[in-house]
Amino acid sequence: MASLSIAGVWKLKAYSRRFLDTGEVRNDMLPHAYIIYTPGGHMMSVTVEENRPPPAGAVLTDEERIRLFTSIVSAYAGTYTVEGDTVTHDVEMSWNEAWTGTRQVRRFHLDGDTMTLETTPRTAGTDSREFINTLTWERVEALP
């Protein structure tokens, strides 16, 4: 059973990335994101880059499809469990098939309708340096 304390619809308010080798903190990206936790233990998260231009018409060109796909930061769904200050997302489906079937572990802190999630150390893209993401969310809807 999931924790009712994080059940709700959350909208991203702040994002930062701290590199472990230097301590450098970057907060130059604020993607658009929502994460939903249901009282029954299901979750879904969608994160896209800010200011994604819409396609020109109803039928997408190959270039538009590529641009739209590459501007997805992450999108996945599955179930979640809470133990202490850790929430674990068991990914059942994902935009990045490498995440499907994985467990994404996050430390969290709640302060009223503000939740802070911190990732485990990771790498991404062409930069091989390890970093930790810190995401601050605002609850925009409580779920029973």
Domain extent listing, the chain = 4-142
Q: What is the pLDDT of residue 82?
A: 97
Tell me the pLDDT of the chain averaged across its residues: 93
Q: Is 68 exposed, middle or buried (0-12, 13-18, 19+ CB in 10 A)?
A: middle
Q: Cβ distance 116 to 108 under 8 Å? A: yes
pLDDT for residue 56 is more than 60: yes
Q: How far is CA 9 from each of CA 22, 79, 118, rounded to the nearest angstrom?
A: 34, 15, 18
Q: Cβ distance 3 to 41 under 8 Å? A: no
Query: Over pLDDT 90: what percentage of the chain?
Result: 83
Give, as one character, the DSSP assignment of residue 62: H
pLDDT for residue 1 is more than 90: no
Q: What is the pLDDT of residue 76?
A: 98
Is the CATH number 3.40.50.300 carried by domain 4-142? no
Q: What is the pLDDT of residue 121?
A: 94
User: pLDDT tens digits, residue range 72-111?
Assistant: 989 999 999 999 999 999 999 999 999 999 999 999 999 9
